[in-house]
Amino acid sequence: DVKVTQSSRYLVKRTGEKVFLECVQDMDHENMFWYRQDPGLGLRLIYFSYDVKMKEKGDIPEGYSVSREKKERFSLILESASTNQTSMYLCASTIEDLTDQPQHFGDGTRLSIL
């Protein structure tokens, strides 16, 4: 089975801090994704990456950046955390270029910004 591991289940940070959320997958998947999940809004795509050192903006990239130095690891960075970034963050991965393949998700990181 594919395993997508997010480094923290719960995280509490303060406004203005630089925050790193880490995600690792063990199936050599090319594509990796970061979403945030908020009540009533569903999942919204922040960034995705289709290869090492490659990234594409999703629907809500403002206030975030990403890093993919190795194929298995995709990091989400909150440059200067703000309270409106309090949310559940979900990482996912999938194999390249096969639209009938599902995305595999981690268990999520619930981030609170105080």
Partner 1 sequence: GDSVTQMEGPVTLSEEAFLTINCTYTATGYPSLFWYVQYPGEGLQLLLKATKADDKGSNKGFEATYRKETTSFHLEKGSVQVSDSAVYFCALSGEAGTALIFGKGTTLSVSS
The residues that touch partner 1, with contacts defined as CB under 8 A, are 4, 30-31, 33, 35, 40-43, 45, 48, 50, 58, 90, 92, 96-100, 102-108
Q: How far is the CB of 80 from partner 1 (least distance, A)?
A: 25
Radius of gyration of the chain (CA): 13
Tokens 């009533």 identify what position? 40
DSSP state of 37: E
β-strand 10-13 against 109-113: which pairing, if any?
A: parallel
Token representation of residue 4: 């997508």
Q: Which is nearer to partner 1, 47 or 78 (CB)?
A: 47
CB of 29 or CB of 82, closer to partner 1: 29
CB nearer to partner 1: pick between 15 and 65: 65
